[in-house]
Structure 1
Amino acid sequence: MSNLSYVNNNNGAWQTYLTQIERVAPYLSEDLQDYIDTLKRPKRALIVDVPIVMDDGSIQHFEGYRVQHNLSRGPGKGGIRYHPDVELGEVMALSAWMTIKTAVVNLPFGGAKGGIRVDPRKLSVRELERLTRRFTSEISHIIGPQQDIPAPDVGTNPRIMGWMMDTFSTGQGHTVTGVVTGKPVHLGGSLGRVRATGRGVFVTGVQAAQRIKLPVEGSRVAVQGFGNVGSEAAFLFNKAQAKVVCVQDHTGTIFNPEGLDIKSLQAYVAETQGIVGFEGAQAISNDAFWDVEMDILVPAALEGQITVERAKTLTAKLILEGANGPTYPEADDELQKRGITVVPDVICNAGGVTVSYFEWVQDMASYFWSESEINERLDKLMIQAIDDVWQTSETNQCSLRTAAYILACERILKARKERGIFPG
């Protein structure tokens, strides 16, 4: 049985991931196929109750999760998501994609993910801190610098990571900076971490554009999601003389065929918390976003955004998956049929976990690097990773996504095979 009986998520993110694994199986050697079921179930899934005292004195309960999908290649690595739609199947899928992602970039980590079903915007700062500290205490027995290292994700930030680090450290009796990454710099965080995922999207995008002979300068870019990932990718493309013509976030969609002033838009969003109302563009409907004339699409919001219907009409020549799982498998088929190149999430948005790895290394050594050193190391790893994936794609005559999974699954399953099964 490939799915798990307690996840009623047949059409969700977990099923998308399972389909991706099924598609890569024929490309693996026979001895590794014997171990492929390892990737179809998480190693450990923890569901916790998170009760907190609200500011008005009432008690509310929230449901939290931490899933460790695979630890064959090292400690678990993956973010913590605060969002009203968080549920077990989604967290399982996100943890599995982290397993693939760390293996594609060849980091010494496994995959994990966590989250709480909550709208953090509805909590006060004090309530958010209580929620974070209680959740950390509930999962503290399965996290740690050599076990599982959380990081920020949707709805969380460096401040929340600081609270997690402090709570865990209190239980240990000493400061443990390496238990989380994405912390404030003065608490052991790394320079360049906040912008790393968006930078990775840009770096891999430039490499892919060169290979398909698409000039970045003058190209039209559409970005869905304008948080850390989308805004940084948009800024770097804009800096490279591309025209960011359309941006969508949770407040709406804005469009300017001549290109948006991204630096001004970033300042506007920092002040208003949304893109709608920005004077340098016109508002259009959210559905119209998918019909905009574009050369490069950067989906950097949530999973499940590119459906078959949207894939049939997209004008993009290159899609850079800044979000996790934004494309359904059937849509992938349609995009490949139409000759649209997709740089998959497991490599395209791996800049964040790569700099998280750098942060973890720096914490372990108590020796910190400059931002220019970090960006140089990041660019080098990302370029090497997409080179490896592109070569695997050409060798196997398959999509970049399948190629990324071939590379990752080979590395993960070889580690599983060589470690053996205990007891024998």
Structure 2
Amino acid sequence: MSTAPLLSVDWTDHVTGRRGHLVVDRLVRGVASGGLRMRPGCTRAEVAGLARAMTYKEALHYDPEARYVPLGGAKGGIDCDPRDPEAYGVLVRYLRAMRPYVERFWATGEDLGLSQELIDRAAAEAGLVSSVQAVFPLLDDEAAARRRLADAFALRVDGLGLDALIGGFGVAESVLAVLDRAGEPAAGARVALQGFGTMGGATALFLERAGMRITAVADERGTIANPAGLDVTALLAARDAHGTVNRAALRPGDRAEAGYAWLSADVDVLVPAAVSYAVDTANQAWITARWIVEAANLPVLPDAEELLTSRGVTVLPDVVVNSGTNAWWWWTLFGDVGADAEEVFTYTRRAMRTLVGDTLDRADKDGTTPRAAAYALAEDRMAALAERHGWYGTDGPRPAD
């Protein structure tokens, strides 16, 4: 695969001077998929790396028998603190500037710092029909597909929206698949998470329901720890819209510790579910967990992963682990699943466990890391996608790699 992205666009807000970026890594049938993030310090290089990861995430879910045909990979990013009073205006102006791309070939949605609800509101204000309207021409019945997606987003499970749960459910199933493969029981296994927003909170909930002990959770204010296990339901009820837990809700035995304490927690599984580049060559030495399951995008730096691997720590990569949310959108829109929570959970469980198994089988076969194996699988599936569906739809042959 070519290392250069297909398209890179830089944007400067004429009101605040803040910068934004769009990178389209690859198209399939003329469309690419990838979320829009907002965080201070977001760079073009970061967005490009995430766009390439989206290409892999899409391709890994290729099933020739399914209605959903994976799209290409893309990503958007805005260098702005989402809590800044000017952030919403910046978002609207960014989407106005990117409107031609969203209308034609970039299907986007929530990512770090931005909820889907906020993106939908800003997209409407920017004159867009939908943040995923580029996909509509690929649908057999657009009206039915849009109703199905709206109905799916309206579903509530135990008081939480299905859209807020499905990504964490996919992460939890990845963790459980790894433990099953290693012959380790889930019951009583200990987990620490960085991040308690949509992804981290849902992951913690489903792992707790599987019998695992959540012994440490980190948010913006630090780490909350309890070796006997935290009450995930109570912490979820006490978090704000940014995933920060009200410390008044802590029970006796819960300890407030430093922000980095989640890394050195005495656990079996570590789940970074917040920011990119969280594990570096220095702090990786604090990790005693046997497995790191990447719920966030790019949380473990490559040099750190090499050191972790050398001392027997298995890193299951983000392109596998957190791909469930993106896939669920398209399974629903294209009609592989309906607006039914049990159907969605069953389909997602099967898909994620199969993908984890395929990745670890390939790693064993090739004698490589799970990340290298996932990339190899993705490359194989991208070749099949390009051969069958092309880059530009009916516009002509795909470019040479």
Tell me whether 1:208 sits opposite 2:178 in the alignment: yes
| Equivalence for 1:62 | 18
**How far has the Cα of 1:77 moved from its partner?**
0.8
Question: Match for 1:179 among 130, 133, 158?
Answer: 133
Tell me whether 1:138 sits opposite 2:97 in the alignment: yes
**How far has the Cα of 1:189 moved from its partner?**
5.8
After TM superposition, the score normalised by the length of structure 1 is: 0.79
**How far has the Cα of 1:301 moved from its partner?**
1.1
Cα distance in 1 for residues equivalent to 2:354 and 2:398: 32
Question: Match for 1:159 among 99, 107, 117?
Answer: 117
Tell me whether 1:41 sits opposite 2:14 in the alignment: no
| Equivalence for 2:370 | 400
Q: Do 1:161 and 1:180's aligned partners in 2 also have CA atoms closer than 8 Å?
A: no
Cα distance in 1 for residues equivalent to 2:149 and 2:333: 14
**How far has the Cα of 1:184 moved from its partner?**
12
Gaps of 5+ in 1: 1-35, 52-58
Q: Do 2:186 and 2:211's aligned partners in 1 also have CA atoms closer than 8 Å?
A: yes
The structure-2 alpha-carbon separation of the partners of 1:189 and 1:157, relative to structure 1 and needing over 3 Å to count, comes to farther
Cα distance in 2 for residues equivalent to 1:179 and 1:386: 31
Query: Equivalent pairs: percent with the same residue?
Result: 27
Cα distance in 2 for residues equivalent to 1:381 and 1:315: 29
Residue 76 of structure 2 aligns to a residue whose secondary structure is strand
Residue 113 of structure 1 aligns to a residue whose secondary structure is strand
The structure-2 alpha-carbon separation of the partners of 1:189 and 1:65, relative to structure 1 and needing over 3 Å to count, comes to farther
**How far has the Cα of 1:423 moved from its partner?**
9.5
Question: Match for 1:148 among 99, 102, 106?
Answer: 106
Cα distance in 1 for residues equivalent to 2:244 and 2:110: 20
Tell me whether 1:325 sits opposite 2:293 in the alignment: no
Cα distance in 1 for residues equivalent to 2:33 and 2:261: 36
Residue 67 of structure 1 aligns to a residue whose secondary structure is strand
Residue 291 of structure 1 aligns to a residue whose secondary structure is coil
Gaps of 5+ in 2: 63-68, 136-145, 156-161, 391-396
Residue 289 of structure 1 aligns to a residue whose secondary structure is coil
The structure-2 alpha-carbon separation of the partners of 1:45 and 1:290, relative to structure 1 and needing over 3 Å to count, comes to same
| Equivalence for 2:308 | 335
State the one-letter code of the partner of 1:387.
G
The structure-2 alpha-carbon separation of the partners of 1:423 and 1:244, relative to structure 1 and needing over 3 Å to count, comes to closer
Tell me whether 1:254 sits opposite 2:212 in the alignment: no
Cα distance in 2 for residues equivalent to 1:380 and 1:164: 35
**How far has the Cα of 1:406 moved from its partner?**
0.4
Residue 352 of structure 2 aligns to a residue whose secondary structure is helix
| Equivalence for 1:274 | 244
The structure-2 alpha-carbon separation of the partners of 1:221 and 1:157, relative to structure 1 and needing over 3 Å to count, comes to same
| Equivalence for 1:242 | 212
Q: Do 1:218 and 1:242's aligned partners in 2 also have CA atoms closer than 8 Å?
A: yes
The structure-2 alpha-carbon separation of the partners of 1:160 and 1:204, relative to structure 1 and needing over 3 Å to count, comes to same
Cα-to-partner distance string for 1:250-276 (whole Å, 9 max, x where unaligned): 111111111000000011113895236
After TM superposition, the score normalised by the length of structure 2 is: 0.84
Cα-to-partner distance string for 1:199-224 (whole Å, 9 max, x where unaligned): 11100110111111222110111000
Question: Match for 2:80 among 100, 118, 123?
Answer: 118
Structure 1 runs of 4+ aligned residues shifted over 6 Å read 183-186
Residue 57 of structure 2 aligns to a residue whose secondary structure is helix
| Equivalence for 1:14 | none
More displaced 10-residue stretch of structure 1: 227-236 or 353-362: 353-362
Residue 93 of structure 2 aligns to a residue whose secondary structure is helix
| Equivalence for 1:97 | 53
Cα distance in 1 for residues equivalent to 2:39 and 2:81: 5
Residue 70 of structure 1 aligns to a residue whose secondary structure is coil
Question: Match for 2:288 among 289, 298, 315?
Answer: 315
Cα distance in 2 for residues equivalent to 1:132 and 1:241: 41
Residue 262 of structure 2 aligns to a residue whose secondary structure is helix
Q: Do 2:152 and 2:340's aligned partners in 1 also have CA atoms closer than 8 Å?
A: no
**How far has the Cα of 1:230 moved from its partner?**
0.7
**How far has the Cα of 1:411 moved from its partner?**
2.1
CA-atom RMSD in angstroms: 2.8
Question: Match for 1:370 among 324, 340, 346?
Answer: 340
Q: Do 2:81 and 2:87's aligned partners in 1 also have CA atoms closer than 8 Å?
A: no
**How far has the Cα of 1:312 moved from its partner?**
3.1
Q: Do 1:302 and 1:323's aligned partners in 2 also have CA atoms closer than 8 Å?
A: yes
Give aligned pairs, total: 368
**How far has the Cα of 1:399 moved from its partner?**
1.4
Q: Do 1:308 and 1:331's aligned partners in 2 also have CA atoms closer than 8 Å?
A: yes
Residue 120 of structure 1 aligns to a residue whose secondary structure is coil
